[in-house]
Amino acid sequence: MKTFDLLVLGGGPGGMTAALYASRALFKVAVIEKMMFGGQMMTTDWIDNYPGFENGVSGFDLSQQMEKQALRFGTEIINGTIEEVDLESTPKVVRTSTEEYYAKSIIISTGTEPRMLGIPGEKEYKGRGVSYCGTCDAPFFKDKDIIVVGGGSTSMQEALHLAKFAKSIKLIVRRPVVEELKAERILIDKVQHADNIELMLHRRLVEVQGAMKVTGVVVEHIGTGDKETISLDGVFVFIGVEPNTDFLKDSLKLSDDRAVITNVDMETGLKGVYAVGDVRDKAVRQIASAVGDGAVAAHFVQHYIEKLVVNEE
């Protein structure tokens, strides 16, 4: 039996922080991650709002540093896709596609996935011109004409990164005026001053067109209903995220948008089960807040395990 004091499900900043704290407290800890450690942070080109880096830091570098620090204190890394969990058994059970693991406590840090528009052509051309990660795919669109969808800070930040590669960018937002955009003002200002970014207000994307790959889109003016067909090479969508909680099925209480509900101590409705980072139901999803979640969860995991040991004795 592969048994641990703590299993962290997901290697984002919250999960890696929790693993670091728990490993440093001499607990046997493993992190299960299906892809790259760092989560959404890994796909962020440049991070300017995480404390301690005067000139900012790349998402890749920050992810690498967090992983190395956790490994330094003995965290075990397991690559695998979580398929099923039993959070009420003793010990708790996590099953991947190849193995079964056991733990006294669980921290869920599985993050989120990009939300899709749900329009014709989007699914068909995903990976063939439709993307949800500018940092991942920007080099494929060098000197190309592309469209970016979304009016939040993420879409603005990604558009600015894509502008380093693309010939032209049309940024589609639903709001009728700039003043109503939800993005940080500093990012909006940068977008407005970018030579190759055009803000298209009060618009929505209604169709992606193509043959073997994306060749164009149909954009609708929300106020008039008029539609315009635009020839281009790529579509980048940044309209929010969906929590990765399908594997939980009905084992935990979730919010209306499928995020895990916790108290301020990161505790879920089950003893010994915690949730941190973007997968948790909360208003602010940032690297700094995820790191804080991880530190809090690790603190209460330590107390939980110590009580288990005392009861066993």
Active site residues: 133, 136-137
Strand partners, 118: none
Report the C-alpha gap between 11 and 101 in whole angstroms: 16
Report the C-alpha gap between 301 and 6 in whole angstroms: 8
Residues 6+ apart with CB under 8 A from 25: 298, 302
* H helix count then E strand count, the chain: 6, 17
Q: Could you give the angle at the alpha carbon of 306 between the alpha carbons of 298 and 265, nearest 5°?
A: 35
Burial class (CB within 10 angstroms; exposed 0-12, middle 13-18, buried 19+) of 242: middle
Half-sphere exposure (Cβ direction) of 269: Cα atoms closer than 13 Å: 9
Report the C-alpha gap between 259 and 262 in whole angstroms: 10
Extract the tokens encoding 307.
């009580």
Extract the tokens encoding 268.
């879920």
